[in-house]
Amino acid sequence: MSAPALDNDFAREVRAGLTRAGQKTLPCSYLYDDVGSALFEAITYLPEYGLTRADARVIQAHAGDLIDSVARSDSLPPNLITAELGSGSGAKTRAILESLRERQAAVYYPIDLSATALEKCAQELGPLATVFPMRAAYLDGLREVAERRVPGQTLLVLFLGSTIGNFEADRAVDFLYAIRQCLEAGDALLLGTDLVKPVEQLLAAYDDPTGVTAAFNLNLLARINRELDADFDLRQFEHVVQYSQEAQRIEMHLRSRIRQIVRIRTARLVVDFAPHETIWTEACHKFRPEQICVMARASGFRLSAQWVDDEWPFAESLLVAA
């Protein structure tokens, strides 16, 4: 007789990942509880992790060009609305709203699962734009924005920070296609992607000497202990990263130092780890600029412009719904 189904999504996904044949896995979306989000925020300040600063620099430098490209000159009054998937506190978006405000009243829909982040976002960007915070998953939120729009409005969607790099390669195109399905021809998507760079630079970015990324990764086990009544001994796991040239991605793992058994009561699971066995927790894909063009075409967009940072290879690509 098989065990009754688990009614807790987290428990179900943890059980599926830790019982699969071959490589054990855990879904990276669960890295971001309150502790994980605070640790990720700390990562963005690390000297070795240039991604977030590069993202912000390119946006700052080209926000005006972006708005010139997407705000249709034939629409009177100009009628562009913006929505951001996974806005967090919306810090990087400030420059875009400032440029937009020079032309028209700015309307901004930040979409995020974190109520705290949305509150902060509304507070900080409220003086610049009419902000409609939406606490929802990316596509649910975007569908709702699409439903609320009125004829004649152009929608600019922001998906920044190279979060697309955390999707499996095929899933990334599926996700872009799903975004396209929410849009009308002429709407646009600004997509931030981290670019391929020397391996040593990437390894340092994801395995920093201060151990912040290690803490971010290990917190996933701590979260399972807290939320699923488990007994992972965090000192018996270590953070390891490797770079796959072929797949163009950093692969982040947690490696068991010893042979050990872990109980995860809410998932009704007992897991056996061999010495050095790993749990794969996150993939961070890196892109070549021309690959963005291929992904855009495969998902119903055309690449209209691309801006790259001079210091840390990172691209902001403007995709227009074909």
Which of 187/282 has CB closer to ligand AVI?
282
**In angstroms, what is the minimal distance from the CB of 175 to ligand AVI?**
14
- x/- track of binding to ligand AVI for residues 36-55 (CB under 6 A): -------x-------x----
Please measure the distance between the N-terminal and C-terminal CA atoms of the chain and give it in whole angstroms: 52
166 touches ligand AVI by CB under 6 A? yes
| Range in contact with ligand AVI (rule: CB under 6 A) among 2-10, 93-101, 162-170, 289-297 | 162-170
CA separation for the pair 3, 6 (Å, rounded): 9
Residue 128 main-chain phi, psi, to 5 deg: -100, -30
- x/- track of binding to ligand AVI for residues 203-242 (CB under 6 A): ---x------x-----------------------------
3-class DSSP assignment, residue 22: coil
**DSSP string across 295-310:** HHHHTTEEEEEEEE-S
The shares of helix, strand and coil residues in the chain, as percent rounded to the nearest 5, are: 40, 25, 30
Question: CB–CB of 59/96 below 8 Å?
Answer: yes
Please report, to the nearest 10 degrees, the dihedral formed by the alpha carbons of residues 141, 143, 148, 149 taken in order: 110
**DSSP string across 1-47:** -PPPPPS-HHHHHHHHHHHSSSSEE--GGGG-SHHHHHHHHHHTT-T
When binding is defined by CB under 6 A, the residue of 82, 87, 114, 162 that contacts ligand AVI is: 162
**In angstroms, what is the minimal distance from the CB of 281 to ligand AVI?**
9
- Give the rounded distance of the alpha carbon of 62 from its chain centre: 21
| Range in contact with ligand AVI (rule: CB under 6 A) among 54-62, 122-130, 149-157, 161-169 | 161-169
Helix ranges (DSSP H) in 44-166: 51-70, 94-101, 115-125, 138-148
| Range in contact with ligand AVI (rule: CB under 6 A) among 18-26, 155-163, 228-236, 255-263 | 155-163
Question: In what side-by-side order are the strands of the sheet with 24-25?
Answer: 24-25, 278-285, 249-256, 237-244
CA separation for the pair 59, 94 (Å, rounded): 9
**In angstroms, what is the minimal distance from the CB of 242 to ligand AVI?**
13
Which of 93/162 has CB closer to ligand AVI?
162
Locate 222 and state its tokens: 């701590």
- x/- track of binding to ligand AVI for residues 284-313 (CB under 6 A): x-----------------------------
248 touches ligand AVI by CB under 6 A? no
Q: Which residue's CB atom is positioned nearest to ligand AVI?
A: 284
| Range in contact with ligand AVI (rule: CB under 6 A) among 113-121, 160-168, 180-188, 220-228 | 160-168
**In angstroms, what is the minimal distance from the CB of 75 to ligand AVI?**
34
Residue 166's nearest CA partner among 138, 136, 125 is 138
163 touches ligand AVI by CB under 6 A? yes
Q: Which positions lie near ligand AVI, rule CB under 6 A?
A: 43, 51, 161-163, 165-166, 206, 213, 282, 284
